[in-house]
Every structure is written in C-alpha cells, then in structure tokens.
C-alpha cells in the first residue's frame, strides 16, 4: 500500500469506530446530540458544587488578572451558561470589558454565522452569531465591525478593529495571514477565555498553526480537504465571492495544554467560572513549535511521525 492509501484507510477506520461509539452513546443517553447532552449534564453537576454568587466588581478583578488593561487589544471567547452565579446581565459584562479597555483599546470576539450554508448568500451584517450570547449582543453594538467569513467571522470594536477584520474574505484559509486570527499577533492581543474549561480547551486562534505550517509539513495538507465557495453581501450593497480551504479532522484538546510552559498563561476560577488567558504571540508561537515536534490539537487524521517531516527535507531525500 502507498502512504496515501494507508492514510485514507486509517481515516476510514477512525471514522467507522467513532461512528460506532457515537451510535452507542446516543442509545445510552437517549439523544441525537451527545455533545450538548453531556455539556448540560456537566453543567448541572457544577451547579451543585459551585453556588456562591459573584458580582460585577469581582468580574472586573478577574479580568484584570486575565490581562484586560486599558488600551490593549483583547480577544474574548466565552460561554454565558457558565456565568450562572453572576449577579449581572450579559450586557453589563460587555460594557465592563469595553470600559476597562477604554477608547484606545480594541475588543474582538468570534461571531461565526449561525447558518454556514454555502448555497445561500451570506448577508454578513445580519447573520446572527453562533459563538455565544455575549458575541451576539456585541455584534449588534454601534460601531462594531465584522469580518466577512462563512465559518470563522470575527467582530471587533476599537482603533484596531478595521485592520483586524477588513481582509478576512481575501484569505484562502479561515485563519490565514489576512485573517483577524494571525493579525492578533501583530497587534499584541491578549487572548481571554471565560467559561470554556481549563487551559487550553477552546481557543480558536490556535487554528492559525495549520495555516502557517500548511506548506511546511505534510500533516497539515491533510487537515484541509477541498474548498468552500460562497457569495456574500453587505448592507451597503457591496457583494462578492469568497473561496477558502475547508478544514476536516477531529480535535482533541484535553491534554494539549500541558505542553505549554506554565508561566506562559494565567488560569483561575471564580465560583465555577473557569478563566484563562495568554498573549496571542506566545500561544501561536508555542503551538507552531509543538506542531513541528508532532504535537497538535488533532486526533484525526492520525499524527504519524512521517507526516511531520518538513517538505524541504522530503525533497532532499528523494532527489
């Protein structure tokens, strides 16, 4: 068998086994959405153990620990479900973050369109966000700018907002050089996750790695299979077509965080609300270095050692 055939057969085997496990799980849990059911059950258990209410002022102190300071560019990912002990509204938290950053600071959040159907015209200025309640409230705020992208759109407010979002639809990757994700390195952004588990369970900018190393390591060629092409339209009437590489593969982040130096990030908990933060440059540079050693956020395709030999060395070996 050739390596490509082996890779394909491995993928089929993984997907078949995964499907069997998911089918068994659905029958046991009596649900079609295992992930959502498990999330709700985990949250119900947490509510029994973490009951102490916390205030907006305590949230401010938590954000200070996370590195949310005046004039900074800050990326926030969150799950409002995990704020169940907070005695304040989502709009209060959003206003707090904007106030802490001040007029010279910039806030960015994910705003993935809730209906990523490539057969429809993406009316990006009206498409609701599927990335959490805070992001949908933020998307609707005056002055907020949004990048054009079917799967990985970003909203931003502040002096750096235009630079972050304006060229997303010109990039052939969801998280490429012209995307907000890699540009956060250039603007020295702080990445903050609230209610998304311990470091580093959920952090979208880490996907920059597979775009950065796409031409260097064969493994990342397997992460992207085919392209997605869609039409977009703005409320101003401006419209166009964007085509980007489609990511495949199954993520596995449970043990990934242990590979980062403990001094590179901040992690704490406030009455059941997990929080962590790290500089964008540190996170992505560390993740790139790990990938070159064969350590990634993916379980599928299987990260076999030969797939992490640089393309330049493969060329030398075969010449």
Please tell me whether residues 22 and 160 are part of one structural domain: no
pLDDT tens-place string over residues 182-204: 999 999 999 999 999 999 989 99
Please tell me whether residues 131 and 277 are part of one structural domain: yes
Share of the chain above pLDDT 90, in %: 80
- pLDDT bracket for residue 319 (50, 70, 90): very low
pLDDT tens-place string over residues 20-62: 545 554 455 445 555 667 667 776 777 777 778 999 999 999 9
More confident residue, 34 or 276: 276
- pLDDT bracket for residue 254 (50, 70, 90): confident
Please tell me whether residues 13 and 100 are part of one structural domain: no
- Tell me, yes or no, whether 207 lies in a domain: no
- pLDDT bracket for residue 241 (50, 70, 90): very high
91-107 average pLDDT score: 98
3-state helix/strand/coil string of the chain: CCHHHHHHHHHHHHHHHHHHHHHHHHHHHCCCCHHHHHHHHHHHHHHHHCCCCECHHHHHHHHHHCCCCCCCEEEEEECHHHHCCECCCHHHHHHHHHHHHCCCCEEEEECCECCCCCCCCEECCCCCECCCHHHHHHHCCCCCEECCCCCCCEEEECCCHHHHHCCHHHCCCCCCCCCHHHHHHHCCCEEEEECCCCCCCCCHHHHHHHHHCCCCCHHHHHHEEEEEEEEEECCCCCEEEEEEEEECCEECCCCHHHHCCHHHCEEEEECCEEEEEEEHHHHHHHHHHHHCCCCCCEEECCCCHHHHCCHHHHHHHHC
- pLDDT bracket for residue 300 (50, 70, 90): very high
pLDDT tens-place string over residues 228-239: 999 999 999 999
Please tell me whether residues 99 and 160 are part of one structural domain: yes
Please tell me whether residues 63 and 74 are part of one structural domain: yes
- Tell me, yes or no, whether 221 lies in a domain: no
Residue ending a domain, among 29, 49, 69, is 49
- Tell me, yes or no, whether 218 lies in a domain: no
pLDDT tens-place string over residues 3-13: 444 444 454 45
Please tell me whether residues 2 and 76 are part of one structural domain: no
- pLDDT bracket for residue 144 (50, 70, 90): very high
pLDDT of 187 reads 98
Residue 76 scores a pLDDT above 60 = yes
Structural domain including 277 reads 51-201+226-247+259-292
Residue 88 scores a pLDDT above 60 = yes
pLDDT of 40 reads 72
Mean pLDDT of the chain: 89
Please tell me whether residues 186 and 279 are part of one structural domain: yes
92-120 average pLDDT score: 98
- Tell me, yes or no, whether 301 lies in a domain: no
- pLDDT bracket for residue 312 (50, 70, 90): confident
> Total structural domains in the chain?
2
257-268 average pLDDT score: 97
Share of the chain above pLDDT 70, in %: 85
């Amino acid at each position: 068998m050739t390596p490509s055939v082996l890779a394909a057969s491995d993928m089929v085997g993984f997907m078949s086994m995964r499907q069997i496990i998911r089918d068994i799980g659905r029958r046991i849990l009596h649900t079609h959405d295992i992930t959502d059911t498990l999330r709700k059950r985990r949250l119900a258990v947490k509510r029994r153990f973490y009951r102490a209410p916390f205030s907006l002022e305590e949230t401010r102190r938590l954000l200070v620990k996370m590195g949310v300071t005046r004039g900074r560019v800050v990326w926030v990912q969150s799950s409002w479900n995990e704020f169940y002990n907070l005695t304040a509204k989502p709009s209060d938290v959003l206003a707090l973050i904007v106030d802490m950053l001040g007029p010279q600071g910039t806030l960015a959040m994910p705003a993935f369109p809730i209906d990523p159907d490539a057969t429809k015209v993406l009316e990006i200025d009206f498409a609701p966000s599927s990335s959490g309640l805070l992001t949908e409230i933020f998307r609707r705020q005056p002055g907020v700018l949004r990048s054009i992208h079917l799967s990985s759109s970003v909203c931003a407010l502040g002096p750096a907002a235009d630079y972050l979002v304006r060229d997303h639809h010109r990039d052939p990757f969801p998280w490429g050089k012209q995307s907000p994700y890699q540009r956060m390195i250039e603007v020295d952004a702080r990445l903050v996750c609230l209610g998304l588990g311990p470091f580093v369970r959920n952090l979208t900018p880490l996907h920059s790695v597979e775009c950065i190393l796409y031409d260097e390591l064969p493994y990342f060629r397997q992460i992207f299979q085919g392209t997605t092409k869609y039409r977009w339209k703005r409320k101003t009437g401006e419209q166009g077509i964007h085509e980007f590489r489609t990511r495949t593969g199954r993520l596995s982040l449970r043990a990934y965080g242990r590979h980062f130096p403990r001094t590179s990030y901040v992690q704490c908990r406030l009455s059941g609300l997990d929080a962590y933060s790290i500089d964008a440059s540190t996170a992505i540079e560390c993740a790139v270095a790990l990938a070159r050693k064969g350590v990634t956020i993916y379980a599928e395709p299987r990260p076999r050692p030969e797939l992490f030999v640089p393309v330049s060395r493969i060329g030398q070996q075969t010449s």
